[in-house]
Amino acid sequence: MQDFGDAFGLAFGLILGGDPDLAEIVGLSLRVTLIAVALSCAIGFPLGAATAIMRFPGRQGVVVAMNALMGLPPVVVGLLVYMLLSNAGPLGVLQLLYTPTAMIIAQCVLVTPIVAALTRQTVEDLAGEYDEQLRSLGVGVSGQAATLLWDARFSLLTTALAGFGRAIAEVGAVITVGGNIDHVTRVMTTAIAVETSKGNLGLALALGIILILLAMAVNGLAMTLRSQWMGRVYG
């Protein structure tokens, strides 16, 4: 219990002390994760909507694959992205390994199936309600997808937050492709892993607490914006 008390004290000391190293790590964590989640939403929303409303041979297989990929092991994703970006890999020429960009790519690969699968389910439920009305109005497939995504936007914010939660808490993929280089690719989770391995359990726990607080703050901010948005839309 003493360790937990010390960890909380240390965590709040780090936050209130405005530690520049901590600020850098937190900033990079947020930057990498928010960009990765934004990219995942840009890919996953239309992909999920298309899978929800289009009927094509093998659709059920795509849905099963999409759902299964939600459980992608981060280390495996890290390994695959590592092989793609390493000097010997097909994208090695880009020299992205051990950069924040590599970490963004890895998180994007990890989060996109989650966003796509949850979007597919959300949009499919709404499409069941809207289908005849939209067809009656003569709305084409792309118009239907856009309408359904827009009308499901408040639910899809929760989907994006699920992706954010997965990405911000992930360590296996980012440590493999980022390398946890101090002042370059060190993020919250990799810093926790390093401090734990060095035996600095108090500092690791403090960083963990800050990570949790960060995730809660982002969720709280998103939910506040959502209710204000709904209020503005509906007056």
> Rounded to an integer, what is the distance from CA 161 to the centroid of its chain?
7
DSSP 93: G
Report the distance separating Cα 189 and Cα 167, nearest Å. Answer: 10
Q: Which amino acid is at 107?
A: Q
Question: Which residues in the 179-198 window bind other proteins by CB under 8 A?
Answer: none
Site membership for other proteins, residue 215 (CB under 8 A) = no
The pattern of x and - marking residues 124 through 163 that bind other proteins according to CB under 8 A reads --x--xx-xx-xxxxx-------x---xx-----------
Site membership for other proteins, residue 199 (CB under 8 A) = no
Q: Where are the alpha helices (DSSP H) in 18-99?
A: 20-53, 59-69, 74-85
Report the distance separating Cα 78 and Cα 71, nearest Å. Answer: 14
Radius of gyration, CA atoms only, the chain: 20
Site membership for other proteins, residue 234 (CB under 8 A) = yes
Nearer to other proteins by C-beta: 80 or 139? 139
Nearer to other proteins by C-beta: 146 or 201? 146
> Rounded to an integer, what is the distance from CA 44 to the centroid of its chain?
11
Site membership for other proteins, residue 235 (CB under 8 A) = yes
Q: How many residues bind other proteins (CB under 8 A)?
A: 16
Nearer to other proteins by C-beta: 16 or 150? 150
Q: Which amino acid is at 74?
A: P
Binding site for other proteins (CB under 8 A): 126, 129-130, 132-133, 135-139, 147, 151-152, 233-235
